[in-house]
Structure 1
Amino acid sequence: MTGSTPLRDGDPQSWDERAVVVCGSAGGVGTSVVSALLAEHRAASGLGLLSWWVDASGNDCDIELRLRGTGDDELLRTASGTGLWLPPEEATVTDAVVEAWRQGAVPVVDAGAHPLTLLPELAEDDLPNLTPVLVISPRPDLLNRARVVFTEWDRAGVLEQTVVVITTPLPVPQQEGLAEMLVGVVSGAVGGVIGLDYDPVIGAGTGLDAEARRGFLPATAATIAELASATSNRR
């Protein structure tokens, strides 16, 4: 992307919208979906072309297809204007954030399920105006596996800045309301806690573009808006 014209000048620390790095406590908790929906919400809410979704997950990912990205292969665009960017394989998450800023964009980075590998980068003070988001699931086995993540992120001083998103990816009856209960348990130790309940559109694993999102439950749209507010300097 060398030589591209920046979309906006200025110090990232002065921007209203913070860069966001979204990391899952385990695979399959919805990290890519949460990050993509946040980037799309930001684009549709005024950022437009300045909003980028960055795939630094290290996994095969179908978000570009689910968001119906089109245009230049180097930087696809959704109908909302979100840029969909795949950094070079050797790039770190820090590299990806800095390059997006250099291009004048505000990135939401899908960092995959690498919470311990990513931690040293998040613990550094080199990235101003960045919010970590940790996605977890209320499944008992995944919560037990997440304990070490919470412990290490807390020890590194990152957890207190982190917004935790508790997703309910399956319509299991005994999970209904569990996310809300976990919000009360986890909050206080972290920067914020948001529960994202099961939504049939997300659960179908198909389109996430603007047309598909019109079928979201009202609570889903409200939750993504809440996450956008929690990751903004305007809160």
Structure 2
Amino acid sequence: MTNPTTPRDDDPQAWAERAAVVCGTAGGVGTSVVSALLAEHRASSTLGLLSWWVDASGNDCDIELRLRGSGNPELLRTASGTGLWLPPEEATVTDAVVETWRQGAVPVVDAGAHPLTLLPELAEDDLPNLTPVLVIAARPDLLNRARVVFTEWDRAGVLEKTIVVISSQLPTTHHDGLADMLVNVVSGAVGGVIGLDYDPVIGAGTALDQGARRGCLPATHQTIATLAAATTNRR
């Protein structure tokens, strides 16, 4: 059995874990957190040092601090082994994915809240073994604002391959009619829909390192495991 903490000689594009590009429909919906938790789960369960979280958000991001990354400044590491990499500013998301593969690793890319800017890259379909993940907040105003995103991703043929994560960031019950609104917003078929309920550890906005995540709700761990499975090739 291959040791997931050491490099493998085969092509990472052929591995079970697909590259994941995580994009938010708006700022503050939890894109960075979802992408970081997915990369950490992969590091802990299958990939070890070969799981990379790539910051292509174009924003000032504090995930490296919240995950307590340390070591080589060019590629920080978490306690789980996840590599934390910041590509050059001029690099596209495609560039970041390809460079990560060249390094023998499998990326989870935080693409920030640029769903329409990112769409042409995803629609080109030049990258095999990649799953788009779209994060949307469970709020009526943000659902309405996301309508154009879902419409354009559907028209481009990307939505049907996309895993949609519905993130609840406040400890409140779902608004009446929210499910119906989501159905109306999503204009076409999607690859899958996963709900991430409010979690006090995530909601605190502080540490997300291995120790802090032990305090996450069981449902949160299960949700991230489900997302990991949804971004894995079925064989």
**What CA distance in whole angstroms lies between the structure 2 residues aligned with 1:226 and 1:184?**
25
Note if contact 2:132-2:161 (Cα within 8 Å) is conserved in structure 1: yes
Percent identity reads 84
Q: 1:190 to 1:174 in 2, by over 3 A?
A: closer
**Structure 1 residue 63 displacement after superposition:** 0.2
**What CA distance in whole angstroms lies between the structure 1 residues aligned with 2:159 and 2:193?**
11
Match of 2:119 in 1: 119
**What CA distance in whole angstroms lies between the structure 2 residues aligned with 1:25 and 1:164?**
10
**Structure 1 residue 12 displacement after superposition:** 3.5
Match of 1:3 in 2: none
**Structure 1 residue 57 displacement after superposition:** 0.1
**Structure 1 residue 59 displacement after superposition:** 0.2
**Does residue 166 of the first structure (1) align with residue 202 of the second (2)?**
no
Q: 1:182 to 1:90 in 2, by over 3 A?
A: same
Match of 1:92 in 2: 92
TM-score, normalised by the number of residues in structure 1: 0.92
Letter in 1 for 2:120: P
Letter in 2 for 1:37: L
SS of 2:146's partner is helix
- Residues 1-235 of structure 1 aligned to structure 2 (within 5 Å): 7-175=7-175, 182=182, 189-234=189-234
Note if contact 1:53-1:83 (Cα within 8 Å) is conserved in structure 2: yes
Match of 2:3 in 1: none
Letter in 1 for 2:118: L
Cα deviation code 1:53-72 (max 9, x no counterpart): 00000000000000000000
**Structure 1 residue 7 displacement after superposition:** 3.3
**What CA distance in whole angstroms lies between the structure 2 residues aligned with 1:199 and 1:13?**
33
**What CA distance in whole angstroms lies between the structure 1 residues aligned with 2:78 and 2:212?**
13
Question: How many residues in Structure 1 have an aligned counterpart in Structure 2?
Answer: 230
Unaligned ranges ≥5, structure 2: 1-5
**What CA distance in whole angstroms lies between the structure 2 residues aligned with 1:87 and 1:95?**
9
Note if contact 2:143-2:185 (Cα within 8 Å) is conserved in structure 1: no
TM-score, normalised by the number of residues in structure 2: 0.92
SS of 2:135's partner is strand
Cα deviation code 1:47-103 (max 9, x no counterpart): 100000000000000000000000000000000000000000000000000000000
Q: 1:151 to 1:183 in 2, by over 3 A?
A: closer
Q: 1:29 to 1:139 in 2, by over 3 A?
A: same
4+ long deviations beyond 6 Å: none
Q: 1:202 to 1:181 in 2, by over 3 A?
A: farther
Note if contact 2:147-2:186 (Cα within 8 Å) is conserved in structure 1: no
Letter in 2 for 1:34: V
